[in-house]
Structure 1
Amino acid sequence: MASNYYPPPAFSFAVAIASMASVPMDANIDAAFQEVSGIDPKVDLEEVREGGVNDYVHQLPGVTKHSNLVLKRGYVTKDSPLADWAAQTVGSTLGTPIQTQTITIFLLGPTGQALVTWTFLNAWPVKWEVGTLDSTNTSSVLTQTLEISYSTVTSALS
């Protein structure tokens, strides 16, 4: 008898950055994120009108596009290779070349095994935002959001 399929929860995931992969994930503060978004490749459509035919327009596949990857976490006040990497690009005058990284996101199953892996190649930070400081809200955590551009994304089932 076939077992029932249940979609995996979206709250169990891990993030790895290639240059920081030598540090164990549990010891690496840069692996803990509250939210990841922007995994959304799509194919643009190119419309072609055929001469003399007014009933429809041909839709042909065009370039594959994607939005930026967005990583959100609680603000880190310790040494952070991720924050250093972001500062080298976002906070610089571009006097030195942009250092790209490979970012991997793992969707984890109930026992911690990777179910799906997304790999983002040639990634580099384009925006680094600190959340709102609000003295009237005493229960919220200060967050930081890192927006990252990349050239391609691939996904694989584990």
Structure 2
Amino acid sequence: MSSDYPITGFYFRLTFPLELGLLDTSFKEVSGMAMEMGIEEIAEGGENRFKHRVPTGAKYQNLVLKRGLTTSVSALSLWCEATLAGGLSSTIIKQTVIVSLMDENSLPIKNWSFVNAWPVKWEFSPLNSMNNEIVIETLELTYDYSLVL
């Protein structure tokens, strides 16, 4: 009998190898881990019954990270602020982001690497005096390509 059960997705770790040293951060949610093949439709001359569909290359969604806001200033926050506030007048520092799915012994069982990532959006959940909710920080990253390690 096989013990190869489906993997649960609640225990994961994100690693950002920033210049300040390896940065390991906690997030409550990671989404956008998707890739698809782009397709172009080409009509054949004289044949109107169908169109040829040819691949155009891989397309990736933005990686969306969510976590509770804390009072500490992290290297990750400084990187986001420098990239987004710098606009086009400063160099964008790209990083490799590694998402590791962990087992019950805190060992990685699956890894995804997002190469040349940089922040394109940084937002915070609304502040509402009628709610007693944790403020959620959302970071959206774009990247060149991803690898399953």
TM-score, scaled relative to structure 2: 0.90
The aligned counterpart of 2:15 is 16
- Give the 5 Å matches for 1:34-49: 34-49=28-43
Give the SS at the match of 2:83: helix
The aligned counterpart of 2:134 is 141
Matched, 1:153 2:118: no
**Per-residue deviation at 1:20?**
6.3
Residue 13 of structure 1 aligns with an amino acid whose one-letter code is F
Residue 147 of structure 1 aligns with an amino acid whose one-letter code is E
The aligned counterpart of 1:75 is 69
1:32–1:20 CA distance, 2 compared to 1 (3 A): farther
Number of residues paired by the alignment?
149
- Give the 5 Å matches for 1:8-157: 8-19=7-18, 22-23=21-22, 25=24, 31-138=25-132, 140-156=133-149
Query: Runs of at least 4 residues of structure 1 off by over 4 A?
Result: none
Residue 142 of structure 1 aligns with an amino acid whose one-letter code is V
Structure 1, unmatched stretches of 5+, are: 26-30
Q: Distance in 2 between matches of 1:47 and 1:17?
A: 39
**Per-residue deviation at 1:44?**
0.8
Range with bigger deviation, 14-23 or 42-51: 14-23
1:57–1:94 CA distance, 2 compared to 1 (3 A): closer
1:40–1:53 CA distance, 2 compared to 1 (3 A): same
**Per-residue deviation at 1:115?**
1.6
**Per-residue deviation at 1:13?**
0.6
Preserved CA contact (<8 Å) 2:17 2:23: no
The aligned counterpart of 1:28 is none
Higher strand share: 2
Structure 2, unmatched stretches of 5+, are: none
Give the SS at the match of 2:86: coil
Residue 100 of structure 2 aligns with an amino acid whose one-letter code is F
Matched, 1:7 2:13: no
